[in-house]
Structure formats: structure tokens, C-alpha cells
Amino acid sequence: MNPTDRQTSTEWNDDAIAVPTPGGRDITEEIQQAARSRAAVRSPRPRHTTPTKQQELAILDRAIDHLGPQSYLAPWLSQVKAEVERDIRSDIFPSISLADAREQAAAIIAEAHAQATVILDAAQKGAAAHRTQAYTSIVAARQAVETASRDLERVAGWVQAR
């Protein structure tokens, strides 16, 4: 690169020659300062630092406060805050999405149906056993009544015969 190319180069080079303005003023130092400022702004910052549990809960509190009571999220976040806090303190990943709630509700309903089926089957078996026992008792009672009736007829016949 020859010296004249350096003056018009778009790359920054600390060894570049002085950059005169049309008025004859040297602005090399100003350009270098501006470049350092841009570099400082563009300097890599840590993308994410892992907050502590307490910091995460404080962020949640600030979000609720910042959103305000008229927002869509703040009232809901306020309602689930205790659950989220409990999960975070227990090292459980909080699952607070509507899809998760639907899955949990579906699982609860499926379990309830399964338990209801077991209970219904047991009740039907118990009812069938009671019906059988009742039928057996009715048949036995009918036979006892028939036997008693025949016995009474015989006794009545003896009494009349005397």
C-alpha cells in the first residue's frame, strides 16, 4: 500500500499518515479516538451470566411491577409467582405454559377416568354378587313359604279331621 492509498483506505491503521481536512486541520487524533470509541462500544460483552435463584425471582418481581396491573401478563405472573418460586427453590424447571397446563389437565382427566372405570367395574361386580345373593335369598324364602304353606295345610287337615 502506498502512502496515498493510506489516506483513502477504509481500514483503520494506527500507522496511517496525518489526515488533513480541506481547511488544513489535522483530524487524525479525532479519527483514532472515534475508532477507539466504536471499538469500545462493539467490544464483546458477556452474552449471558447465569443469575442466582434470588436474582431470577427479583427479575420476576420487577417484571410484574414494570408491566403493571392493567397488562396481560402481570396479573397472571402474580398468580403463578408462588408456584414458580417454589419450583425454582426446589431446583425444578417451572412449567407455566398453557400447553403444559393442558397436558397436566389431560393427564389428570385420563387418570380420573381410569380410576372411575376401576371403581365402576368393582361396583358392578359387587352389585352382581348382591343380586345373586338376593335372588338366592328370595328363592330360599319362596321355598320356605311354600314348605310352610304345605305344612300348614297338613296341620289344618289334621285339625279338621279331629
Local confidence band at 55 (pLDDT 50, 70, 90 cut-offs): very high
Share of the chain above pLDDT 90, in %: 41
Residues 12-44: tens digit of each pLDDT? 444 445 545 555 556 667 666 766 666 555 555
- Residue 50: its pLDDT value, please? 86
Residues 105-119: tens digit of each pLDDT? 899 999 999 999 999
- Residue 40: its pLDDT value, please? 54
C-alpha cell read off for 29 = 487524533
**In this predicted model, which residue has the larger pLDDT, 89 or 12?**
89
Please say if the pLDDT value at position 69 is more than 70: yes
**In this predicted model, which residue has the larger pLDDT, 88 or 8?**
88
Please say if the pLDDT value at position 94 is more than 70: yes
pTM of the model: 0.35
